[in-house]
Amino acid sequence: MAEDEGITVKKGENFSEWYTQVLIKSEFFDYGDVSGTTIFRPYGYYVWERIQSFVDELFKADGISNTAFPLLIPKKFLEKEKEHIEGFSPEVAWVTKAGQSKLEEELAIRPTSETIMYPAFSRWIRSWRDLPLRYNQWNNVVRWEFKHPTPLLRNREFLWNEGHSVFADEESANDERDRILEIYEKTLRELLCLQGIKGKKTESEKFAGGVATYSFEFLLPDGRNVQGPDFHHDGTNFARAFDIAYLNKTGEKTYAFQNTYAISTRMLGVLLAVHGDDKGLVIPPGLSRYQVIIVPIYNEKNREEVLDYCRKIHKITSGSHRTHLDERSEYTPGWKYNYWELKGIPIRFEVGMREVKQSQITYVRRDTMEKGTMAFESVISQVEVILKSIGENLLKKSSDFLYSHIKFTDNLEEMKSLIADGNMAQANWCGKESCEKKIKDASGGKSTNMPFDIPVKAGLKCVCCREKAEFVVNFGKSY
C-alpha cells in the first residue's frame, strides 16, 4: 500500500486521529451527510450483522419474539410519561410538515419506542393469560444530540435492539433481568472479546421514566468511559401512563411490570477502539468478514503451481471457516499484507513455492503478528486452534487493560487526578445524590455504575461526606 493508504499516526500518540483514520481507511465506516449520522459500509455492517444474529438467536431461545413498530410517534403519546419526555425532549427530532402543508399533530421520530409500542400493548393485554409479553425489534433511532459527534460512539442516529417486556409481577420482571444481562455478557465476551463492568446505574444516571438501570461499562484507550448494553426495569411507571393492565385470577385490574433492554452500534466503536493497533483494525474471529486471507507469492514461472495449491487450501478451509483467496494480480504480496492487516483479518496465509514443495502453510496471526507454519493436512484443526487463541488473547488483553485502570481511592482530590490520567476512579459512596453531584464537580467525571459483586471497602466512609458508605461506585470521563 502507498504511504497515505495506511495509518499515519500511532494509537498511543493521537488516539482520536488514529480512531478516525482506522475507521475510514479500513472501509468500515463513512460519514453521513447530516452531521452525526453514519454510513455502515459492507465491511463494517457485516460485523453488526454477526452481533445481531448471535444476540437474536439467544433472545429467541429465551422466548422473545421480534416485531416492527412505526418510526413516527404522535406528540400526545410521547408526552404521556412525564419523566420520560423530560429526559428525551431536548433530543427529539420532529416531523412538522407533509409536502407544503403543516401537520395538525407534530410527529416525533422515535428516540426509543416505548411511547409508540405501549398504546398497542394496552389494547392487546387484557387478562393474566396474555402475560408475559416479550417483544423485541431491531431498528434505528434518532437522538438529536448537540455535543460534538464521534463516529459510532456519539451519533444522532444509531442501530440497536429494543427489547420490551411486560410481566404480571415484579419477580418475573427481575428474573428476566438476570437472563438478559447474561445474554449480553456472553455476547460481549465470546463474540466481541470485550470485558465490561456489569453494574447498576445511580438514580441520577438511570433511564428517563424507569425505576432502575443496569449496564455494562467500558473504558477506551483515551481514558473515556462508554456505556455498553443496558437493561431498564420500569416498574409500573409506563403501565400506569399507558394503561397496560390485566385482570388477575380474581378479576381485579392490576398494572403490569415492564422491562426494556438494548445493545447498539456504539459497541462497534468500543470494539475497534479497544482491539485496534498501529497497523489498523483487529477484528475478533467470530465477527470478521474473513477469518483467513490467503496471499499467494509467485513469479511468472511458478504462478499456476502456487495458485493451484492456494485454491486447494481455499477449497478445503472454506467449508468450515470464512476464508478468502486474494488472487488480484495488480497488487504485490506486500501490498496485500498491509491491506488485510488494516482491515484486521485474524489470520493471513503466505503461500509460495516453498510452501507448495513442503506441503505446508506459513501463517501470521493478526493480534500478535506471530509467524508460524502448519502442515497442509492439519490446516482446518490448526486454524480452529489459532482462532480460538486469538479470541482468548483479545479478551484477556481487554480485561487486563480495564482492570489495571480501575483505581480505588478514599480521597476526592485523588479521584480527579486518577480520572485525568485515564483511569476509572472507584470509591465508597453514601448513596446521596448531593454527594454524587459534589464528586462529579470535584473529579471531572460522572458516575458510570455501581459494579456488581464489589462490596463497600470495610472501615471506610463515603468519599465525599464521610458518612456511612452504602455503595461502591465508579466515576469516569464520558463520551
Q: Give the residues lining the site for Zn ion (CB under 5 A).
A: 430, 435, 462, 464-465
Nearer to Zn ion, 376 or 408 (CB): 408
Q: What is the DSSP letter of 154?
A: B
Nearer to Zn ion, 279 or 437 (CB): 437
Instruction: Report the nearest approach of Zn ion to the CB of residue 465 (Å).
Output: 3
Nearer to Zn ion, 315 or 468 (CB): 468
Instruction: Report the nearest approach of Zn ion to the CB of residue 117 (Å).
Output: 39
Listed in sequence order, the DSSP H helices in 303-378 are: 303-318, 333-343, 353-358
Q: How far apart are CA 342 and CA 23, in angstroms?
A: 10
- For residue 468, how many other CB atoms are within 10 A of its CB? 11
381-413 burial, b if ≥16 CB within 10 A, otherwise e?
Answer: ebbeebbebbbebbbebbeeebeebbbbbbebe
Nearer to Zn ion, 2 or 458 (CB): 458
Q: Label the pairing between strands 424-429 and 471-478.
A: antiparallel
Residue 431 · residue 450 · CB < 8 Å: no
Instruction: Report the nearest approach of Zn ion to the CB of residue 415 (Å).
Output: 13
Instruction: Report the nearest approach of Zn ion to the CB of residue 411 (Å).
Output: 14
Nearer to Zn ion, 189 or 432 (CB): 432
Instruction: Report the nearest approach of Zn ion to the CB of residue 214 (Å).
Output: 23
Q: How far apart are CA 458 and CA 447, in angstroms?
A: 21
Cell of 291: 477469518
Instruction: Report the nearest approach of Zn ion to the CB of residue 44 (Å).
Output: 44
Nearer to Zn ion, 392 or 413 (CB): 413
Instruction: Report the nearest approach of Zn ion to the CB of residue 468 (Å).
Output: 9
Nearer to Zn ion, 159 or 439 (CB): 439
Q: How far apart are CA 216 and CA 231, in angstroms?
A: 9
Instruction: Report the nearest approach of Zn ion to the CB of residue 433 (Å).
Output: 10
Nearer to Zn ion, 165 or 449 (CB): 449
Residue 393 · residue 368 · CB < 8 Å: yes
DSSP assignment of 380-415 = HHHHHHHHHHHHHHHHHHHHHHHHHTEEE-S-HHHH
Q: How far apart are CA 340 and CA 281, in angstroms?
A: 9
Nearer to Zn ion, 262 or 435 (CB): 435
Closest CA to 391 of 145, 144, 142, 194: 194
Instruction: Report the nearest approach of Zn ion to the CB of residue 462 (Å).
Output: 3
Closest CA to 344 of 4, 16, 25: 25
Instruction: Report the nearest approach of Zn ion to the CB of residue 87 (Å).
Output: 25
Query: Where do we find the cell 466512609?
Result: 461
In angstroms and rounded to an integer, the radius of gyration of the C-alpha atoms of the chain is: 25
Which residues, at least 6 apart from 47, have a Cβ–Cβ distance to it below 8 Å?
A: 28, 268, 271, 283, 287, 288, 289
Instruction: Report the nearest approach of Zn ion to the CB of residue 428 (Å).
Output: 9
Residue 394 · residue 383 · CB < 8 Å: no
Nearer to Zn ion, 311 or 461 (CB): 461
Q: How far apart are CA 187 and CA 181, in angstroms?
A: 10
- For residue 9, how many other CB atoms are within 10 A of its CB? 16
Nearer to Zn ion, 22 or 462 (CB): 462
